[in-house]
């Protein structure tokens, strides 16, 4: 059962929880660019790991080579994972409105 709220409480809650994209680019392009950024980052990780694992394609890899190659692939993946695309969080609507009003002088 939901708790009844007054219109003022609803407005305050909305200003606190609703978010707006203030990154500065076209908001419609952000929908596509976020997905592209995630995709290209994951492709970089997969490509680097595949390069590390290419050493195992030789005729008969020994266990030591397999272990060192696996370790190198894990290190590369974790290093590149930290550099992958991460979306900046959107700002609360209340803060966006305050900034707009202060720029207007009102």
CA distance 30 to 23: 9
pLDDT for 62: 84
In a domain, 45, yes or no: yes
In a domain, 92, yes or no: no
> pLDDT confidence of 59, banded at 50, 70, 90?
low
Q: What is the mean pLDDT of the chain?
A: 87
Domain of residue 43, residue span: 28-86
pLDDT for 106: 59
What Å distances lie between residue 90 and 2, 32, 55, 95, CA to CA?
27, 16, 43, 11
In a domain, 9, yes or no: no
pLDDT for 54: 86
Report the domain count for the chain: 1
In a domain, 78, yes or no: yes
In a domain, 80, yes or no: yes
In a domain, 37, yes or no: yes
In a domain, 96, yes or no: no
pLDDT for 23: 80
* Helical residues (DSSP H) of 1-106, grouped into ranges: 7-17, 27-53, 63-82, 93-104
In a domain, 8, yes or no: no
Q: What is the pLDDT of residues 11-42, one digit of tens each?
A: 999 999 999 888 877 878 888 888 999 999 99
């Amino acid at each position: 059962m939901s708790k009844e709220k007054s219109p003022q409480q609803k407005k305050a809650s909305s200003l606190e929880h609703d978010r707006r994209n203030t990154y500065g680019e076209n908001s419609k392009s952000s929908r596509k660019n976020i997905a592209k950024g995630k995709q290209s980052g994951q492709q970089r990780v997969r490509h680097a790991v595949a390069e590390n694992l290419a050493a195992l394609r030789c005729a008969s890899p020994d266990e030591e080579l397999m272990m060192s190659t696996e370790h190198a692939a894990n290190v590369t993946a974790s290093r590149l994972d930290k550099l992958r695309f991460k979306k900046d969080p959107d700002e609360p609507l209340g803060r966006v409105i305050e900034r707009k009003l202060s720029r207007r002088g009102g």
